[in-house]
Structure 1
Amino acid sequence: MTDLLLIGIGTGNPDHLTTEARRAIAEADLILLPEKGAGKSDLADLRRQIIAEVTDCPPPIATFEMPERDPELPYLQRVEAWHDMIADRWTTCLAEYAEARRVALLVWGDPSLYDSTLRIAARLSPRPKIRVIPGITSLQALTAAHVIPLNTLGGPVTVTTGRRLRDQGWPKGAETIVVMLDGGCAFQTLDPSDLWIWWGAYLGMEEQILCAGPLAEVGEDIIDRRAAARAAHGWIMDTYLLRRGTSGLD
């Protein structure tokens, strides 16, 4: 049976890898590496740099092209179909390297948090033995970069998506929310009064960008900086934390 190692690699900084993650990469028989086209080649290059730093004798790398989502389908159906296509491409790679017993996938952040790698792995047949090596999440990198706690004293935290924030507004009863997968700056749909935001892009990387302050004062700046960075790099990974009526340390 194939062991499929889902390795959290943090936010692109090799220093974020745990000792367990480094060992798992070095001991893998094969690494599956997604390629997302010329405009996002940086992402594949970063994975290759991490592999090269971890071991002087890197395992074979099997690349596969990430499929495109069908924009004509409803959102959930679109994502399910996309996951099916990715699983098919993994299956093709695994069949080509049938002798590989320990196959690794390097996952941005951690495989548990708004990442579909586990759901895709569950589609494989025959199903491999799946092992997760946890990694630093963008939430940890964001709060560390801004030097703030994730929660208020004894307070809850809600993690949500840009889509839900835009469609449903501020989550009922929430004190602090962390917003992920937001390609449209959904905070624009909120009343900015009494809201603080801590935003970060390319967290942990040399290109890291940070911005924080009252949403009414810094919201437009974040929108402009995000658009400029995405145009410059061809891609962007960012997240932000919102909290009511506080400078972050309450």
Structure 2
Amino acid sequence: MENETKISSSINRKRNFTFVFLTGLILLTLAFALFSSRKPDKKINEISSSMKSIAAPDFLVRAFPDTDWSKADQSLTDALNGGPGKDGIPALNEPKFDTLDTWKQAGDVNAIVIQDGDNTKVYPYNILVWHEIINDTVGGVPIAVTFCPLCGSAVVYDRRLPDGVSTFGVSGALVESNMIMYDRLSETLWQQSTGRALAGKYFGQELTHISFQLLTIDEVKEKYPHARVVSERTGYFRDYSRNPYGSYDTNEDFIFHPSRQDVRYPAKTIFVVFT
């Protein structure tokens, strides 16, 4: 079981970020907790649990018929349909990489950077904003690089589960405007910002965090000139020079309004958590 909980020491060697999020809201449950003004599906499925009984939106139960719904968190009562359905936002699997001299976008694009010895991989936001999850391997460790554009949370997880290695996908559901991911091994639903299982076989368990750096591409070029960056040759027709959310991350407006707001901070202030 040792390999299920440990990652390579070379990846963990630095005091890097474990996750990044935007805030301005009360951080009681999620990074950058937002709550939509949209109402959950009228059709409700009552789900019994040994701990409690919850009401899960019908769209979510229909999309995940193989999920063990006998184990579910109360927060899923308020899960919302984000628009694109299950895998409507396609995660990337086995991404291609290019050298930094092929980079064509602006130098101030943020990127998640992971090192393993002399091997440095770069996962830029202009790719992540369209795909939200990149399933990859670094230093022999299977990882999921995740980013939720609506709440600005960036987190990297180990993809090794108790029953094997899984890829992760985008469920199409939101809780407090944060992406709900799912693993394709068991179809357990996971909160992207916390890595906690909200429903399914692994209910109550948490994914292992992988530390990373958050840098601009210009900073990457200066610090790691031999790094490799995720290629725009993804197999999908997307305009990676354009942010589909426009100026959402730089203004104080919300697509999904917060349930409560912490007035001590301006909306969408960036917070970084260190380990």
Shorter-chain TM range is under 0.3
Higher alpha-carbon Rg = 1
Q: Which has the higher contact order (CA 8 A, sep 6+)?
A: 2
Question: Which has more strand, going by share of residues?
Answer: 2
Structure with greater helix percent: 1
